[in-house]
Structure 1
Amino acid sequence: MFGSGKHYSMEEQQGRRNVNGERELEGGQPSRNSGQTGHEPEDLKKAEESTQSQSQWRRITKVPQLLRGTQDFKKLYEPRVISIGPYHHGKPHLHPVQMIKPLCARNFLADSNQEIEALYTKIESNIEAVRKCYNKRPTIKYDNEALAWMMLLDGCSLLQFIRRKDLRKFLREHHINFVMQDLFLLENQLPFGVLKLIFEGAKFNDGLTMEEMIKKFVTDNGRLEESTLEIHLEEASHILGLLRSALLGQSQPEQERPPDKKGKSSASQGICGRFCSPCKKGKQRGIRQSFRNIKELKAAGIHLQSSRTRFLTDISFNSYFFRGYLNLPPIIVDDFTKSRFLNIVAYEMCPDAPHDYTVTSYICFLYELIDHAEDVKELRSKHILRNCLGSDEDVAHIFNDIANDVVSTGVYGHVKASIQEHYDRKVSTWIAEVRHIHFRSPWTVTAFIAAVLILFLTGVQAYYSLPGN
C-alpha cells in the first residue's frame, strides 16, 4: 500500500488492485511518474494531522424512498455514463467511461504537479470519515484500500471534468453532455472533504486555483453570473450542494420596480422548517389561494417583471392599488432542468441537508403559476423564461411533472398572501378587464377615444338645442 515506506515503480503499480479488488490492467492506476519515493514529506504529515482532526463530513444519502417510485426514476436519478462514488460503481453500462478515468486522473495529476502516493495516503488516513459519508451497505463490500482508490480515482476524474480540459481526447461531445448531467445527481457525489484533500496541494501552470475552477463550473451550470456569487467552499457538502447554494445566492435583494414609494413590497420570506402540504393548485397552508395561473393574474392587473438577479430567492411582489408587479428570476429550461431540480429536491429532503426547502418551494411556486402554454409564453415575453426545449407546452409539462411528487412549504407564503390580497380587490380586476378590452391595441384606444368624444359632442349639441339655451 502506498505510504508504507516502500518504493513502487510503474510496473509494481500496474500490478496493484483496482477499486473492484481485481488485478489492474496495464495503465490502470494513474501515476505521474515512476520515480516517486515512498518517503513521506514533512508537509504531508502536517496535512494528515490536519485532516484527521477536522469535523465530520456531511453524509451523502440515497434518494429518499418517497421519490423512488417516481416515473422514469432511473432516467432522473441514476447516472447514464459515469459513476462517482460507491452507490453505482461497477454497473455494466457505466464500464466504457470507467475505463477512461485513469487517463483523466493521470492528466489531472500531471497538470496539478502532484504525486499519486501522497494523495492516496491522505485519503486512506481519512477513510473512516469517508465511510461515514455513505450508507453502510454499498460500502461494506470494499476494504479500506479499495475504497481509498475509488475516492482517489473518482476525485481526480471529477476535478478533471470540472476543469473541462482535454475531455475530447477521451469522450465524444454527447458523452460529455451526459457526464455533466451525471455529476449533479444526488447518488453520484463525493464528499467535498475528499475533493479538498486532492486539490489543496494542486499547483496549475495556468494560474487558476481549483477553487476558482469549481466556482466557474458550478455557476456555469447554474446559469449564473460568476461575479455575483460568493461560494464558501469550506462549508460545502458536495457538488450538488454547491449548485443549490449557487441557485439560491447569499442574499435576497430587494426589488423596487417600478420605483414608487407608495407601493407595498412583499419580498420572499418566512422559512418553513418542515414540509407543509402536497403541492396542489390553489392551496397553501394558511392562505386561501384562488388564483391558478399567470393568465388569471394578468386579468386581475398583476404583471410579470424580471428580477435583477437569477437567484431563486429573488422573488417579490409590489402592489400599486390598480396594478401589481410580480418579480421572478430569469430561468433557462433545457433537457437537464427536470433532473437537476428533482435531485436538489431529493437533497433537501435528506436529514443532513439545509432545512429551508427553498428550491422545493420555488418549484411549487412556478407550478402554481404555470397551467398551459399561454402561461409559458407570457414568461418568455417578459424575458423571465428561456425555452431551450421546443414548444411552450413541453415546458408546462416539465413543471407539472416536477411538482407531482413535491410538497409545498411556506418559503414564499408571504409573497403568495400579498398576491392574493391584490387579486381579491374587485376594482383592480374590473379596471384590468376594461384596460384589456378597450386598450389592448392602438386601434381600440382610438376607437374608445372617438366614442367618448362623440358622446361628449352629442351631449353638448343636445344641451344647446334645449329651449332657453
Structure 2
Amino acid sequence: MDTSREVILVGEFLPIQERVTNISERLEADFSKIDTKIHRFPPGLQGIGDRYIVPSVVALGPYHHGAPHLQKMEEVKHAAARCFCEDSHHTIEEVYAKILSEAKKARSCYDENEVAGFSEEDFAEMMFLDGCFLLEYIGGINNKSPFLVNSMVLSTGPCMLRDIMLLENQLPWHVLEALMTFKHVGVSEFIVNVIQADLDKKNHAGEFEKNVDHEVPHFLGLARLYVTSNMRPVLSHHPDGDRTTRPLSAVRLAEMGVKLKSSKVACFADMSISKKGWFFAELSVSPVFLNDSTTCWLVNMAAFETSTSKGYPSDGFHISSYLSILVMLMDKEEDVHELRAQHIVHSFFSNQETLDFFKAIARNLRLGHRCFVISKEIEDYEQDRRRWIIVHKFLYHHWRKIVTLISIASVLVGIFKTLISLDKSH
C-alpha cells in the first residue's frame, strides 16, 4: 500500500474539513442566539414590498441609521433624550453610562456587518438616543414640550406606529429595560391600548404583564407575544407528511354548509372548526381591523416568526397561519364582502383594496402548522359529506328561485281550491 499517497490525500482534504467544521460551528453558534437577535427581513418575504421593511419617519438601531429621508428625526431624538432624563431625575451622563455598559451585549444582537462601522461610543450613543426616543413616544408626551408633541406625534401620524413595529427597526429589549430602571414606562399598557383597538384582541394590561416573558428580544417580539398569548393548542391526528392545502374561499365554504363566525376567544389569530349537527360546520376566525398600521404589524410579525421558527409541528407560525387562512378565504371581492358581513374583517379599505393586500402577501407567506390543520379538517368535512354538499350547493345558489316557486305553487293551490269550492257551490 502506498502510504505516501495516503498522506498526500489527507493533506489535500484537511483544509476543506477545517472550513466545513469552522463554518458549521460558526453558524450553529449564531443560530443559538436566534431568540435574542435583531433579524433582517427574511429574503423569502421581501417580495411583499419595501413599505413593510423600510421606516418612513424614524430609524431605530443600525440597519437604517443614516438613511437620508430619516435625518429630520435625528435631532428630535436629542430633545426626547433630554426630556426622558429630566423626567427620570437623573443626569444625561448617568443614563448614558448605563447604556454604555450594555453596548457590547446590544451590539451582538445585530448583524456584525451592519455594526462594523460604528465605534463603541457611537453605537452606545445610538442606543441611548434611540431608546430614549422610543420610550418617550410610548410613554406619551402630551403634557411635555409642544415641539416634541408636534414632531413625534402630530406631524408623523400613523407612520410612527408603523415604524416602531418594523422587524429591522428594533432595539434590544435589555436596552429598554436598562433605561426603564431610571423611569418606568408603561410599554405593556401601550401595546394593550394601541393593538387591542385595531386587532380586536381582548385582554387587560395587568393580566398580560403577569405572563410577559422578559426574555423577549424587542418591542415587536413583545407585541407578538401579546397577540398570541393564551393561544389554544392545535391538536392534529394527521401525519406530519400531509402538508397540502385546498382552496377555501368564503363563498365556497358557504356552498359546503360551513358557516364563518367571528371568534370570541380572547386571543388574536385564533382559528377553530367545529361540527354543528350532522350536516353543518362552523369555522371560527378572529376578527381584525385593517388599516395602514395593522397591515404592517401583521406582515412584520409574520417575518419575525419566519426568522425565529425552530421546528415542526410547534413551528411558531401563528400569525402566518392566520393570514394564510384569510388569504385562502379571499378569492374574489364577494369573498371579502362575506367576511365583512360575518364581522371577521373590518376596514376602511374597499373590498378590492383588502383583496389586493392579501393577494400581495399570498405568494410570500410561510404556511404554518395551524393553517394545514384547519385546511385538512375542512377537507375531511367535505369528503364525509359529499352527497349532502351537492344538495346544499344547489339549494345555496337557487334558494330564492325555490322560494319563489313554492310561493307561486302555494298561490296556485289556493286558486285551485277556490275554484273547486265555487264549482261545488254551483
TM-score by length of 1: 0.71
Change (3 A) 1:304 1:224: same
Q: Aligned with 1:407: secondary structure?
A: coil
User: Which deviations, in whole Å up to 9, do the C-alpha atoms of 1:91-111 show, x marking residues without a partner?
Assistant: 111111111111122222223
What residue in structure 1 maps to residue 158 of structure 2?
177
Structure 1 gap ranges (5+): 1-54, 253-266, 277-284, 463-469
Aligned to 2:373: 414
**Could you list the per-position Cα deviations for residues 339-363 of structure 1 after superposition, in whole angstroms to 9, with x for gaps in the alignment?**
3222222211224779411111222
2:302 to 345, 349, 357: 345
SS in 2 for 1:230: helix
| Residue in structure 1 matched with residue 285 of structure 2 by the alignment | 328
Cα displacement (A) at 1:56: 11
Q: Structure 2: which amino acid aligns with 1:332?
A: F
Deviation at 1:128, TM superposition (A): 1.5
| Secondary structure of 1:412's aligned partner | helix
Which amino acid is the alignment partner of residue 224 of structure 2?
A: R
Higher relative contact order (CA 8 A, sep 6+): 2
Residues 350 and 453 (structure 1 numbering): CA distance in 2 closer, same or farther, change over 3 Å? same
Evaluate the alpha carbon distance shift between residue 77 and residue 358 of structure 1 in structure 2; reply closer, same or farther with a 3 A threshold: same
Question: How far has the Cα of 1:79 moved from its partner?
Answer: 0.8
Aligned equivalent of 2:263:
307
Shift, 1:268, TM fit: 3.9
Cross-structure match for 2:37: 59
- Is the CA contact (8 Å cut-off) linking 1:192 and 1:238 kept in structure 2? yes
Q: Letter of the aligned partner of 1:190 in structure 2?
A: L
Which piece of structure 1 moves more, 445-454 or 226-235? 445-454
SS in 1 for 2:158: helix
* CA gap 1:211/1:305 in 2 versus in 1, 3 angstroms: closer
Aligned CA RMSD, in angstroms, stands at: 3.3
Stretch deviating more after TM superposition (235-244 or 447-456): 447-456
Does structure 2 conserve the Cα–Cα contact (< 8 Å) formed by 1:306 and 1:330?
yes
User: Which stretch of structure 1 is more off in the superposition, 450-459 or 351-360?
Assistant: 450-459
2: CA distance, partners of 1:432 / 1:419: 16
The 5 A counterparts of 1:121-160 are 121-160=97-136
For 1:370 and 1:84, locate their aligned partners in 2 and report how far apart those are by CA, in whole Å.
35
CA displacement 1:26-49 (0-9 Å, x = unmatched): xxxxxxxxxxxxxxxxxxxxxxxx
Q: How far apart, in 1, do the equivalents of 2:199 and 2:87 lie?
A: 26
Classify 1:121/1:233 alpha carbon distance in 2 versus 1 (closer, same or farther; 3 Å).
farther
Residue 89 of structure 1 aligns to a residue whose secondary structure is: coil
The aligned amino acid for 2:178 is L
CA distance in 2, matches of 1:415, 1:293: 13
User: Could you tell me how far apart the structure 1 residues matched to 2:170 and 2:373 are?
Assistant: 35
Alignment of 1:193-212 (within 5 A): 193-202=174-183, 209=186, 211-212=188-189
Shift of 1:124: 1.4
Percent identity, aligned pairs only, is: 26
Q: 1:363 to 1:387 in 2, by over 3 A?
A: same
Q: How many residues align?
A: 373
Asked if residue 239 in structure 1 is aligned to residue 239 in structure 2, the reply is no
Mark the CA change 1:178 to 1:126 in structure 2 (over 3 Å): closer, same or farther.
same
C-alpha contact (below 8 Å) 1:220/1:226 kept by paired residues: no
3-state SS in 2 of match to 1:184 = coil
Farther off after superposition, 239-248 or 86-95: 239-248
Q: Distance in 2 between matches of 1:144 and 1:245?
A: 31
Task: Report if aligned partners of 1:151, 1:190 keep a CA contact under 8 Å in 2.
Answer: yes
Kindly provide the amino acid, as one letter, of the partner of residue 111 in structure 1: D
What is the rounded CA distance, in whole Å, between the counterparts of 2:34 and 2:260 in structure 1?
45
> Tell me, what secondary structure is at the counterpart of 1:325?
strand
Q: Secondary structure at the match of 2:222?
A: helix
Letter in 1 for 2:379: Q
The one-letter code sitting in structure 2 at the alignment partner of 1:199 is M
Distance change in 2, residues 1:308/1:202 (3 Å): same
Retained in 2: the 8 A contact 1:119–1:198? yes
Cα contact 2:198–2:289 (8 A) shared by 1: no
Q: Would the alpha carbon gap of residues 455 and 324 (structure 1) be closer, same or farther in structure 2, given more than 3 Å must change?
A: farther
Task: Decide whether aligned partners of structure 1 residues 189 and 370 sit closer, same or farther in structure 2, where only a CA change above 3 A counts.
Answer: same
What's the CA shift for 1:373?
0.7
- Establish whether residue 361 from structure 1 lines up as the match of residue 321 from structure 2: yes
Q: Tell me by how many angstroms 1:72 deviates.
A: 3.0
- Please state if 1:387 is matched with 2:347: yes
- CA 1:293–1:307 in structure 2 vs 1: closer, same or farther (change >3 Å)? same
In 1, Cα distance between equivalents of 2:168 and 2:391: 52
Which of the numbers 362, 367, 392 marks the counterpart of 1:403? 362
C-alpha contact 2:60 2:169 (8 A) present in aligned 1 = yes
How far 1:386 sits from its partner (Å)?
A: 0.3
The alpha-carbon distance between structure 1 residues 436 and 222, as it changes in their structure 2 partners (threshold 3 A), is closer
Offset, 1:212: 3.6
Task: Assess, with a 3 A threshold, how the Cα gap between structure 1 residues 211 and 200 changes in structure 2: closer, same or farther.
Answer: farther
Question: Which letter maps to 1:118?
Answer: E
- Contact 2:132–2:179 under 8 Å retained in 1: yes
Distance 1:210 1:303 in 2: 38
Correspondence for 1:318 among 256, 274, 283:
274
Q: What is the alpha-carbon distance in structure 2 between the residues aligned to residue 123 and residue 449 of structure 1? A: 78
Contact 1:310/1:331, CA 8 A, preserved across alignment: no
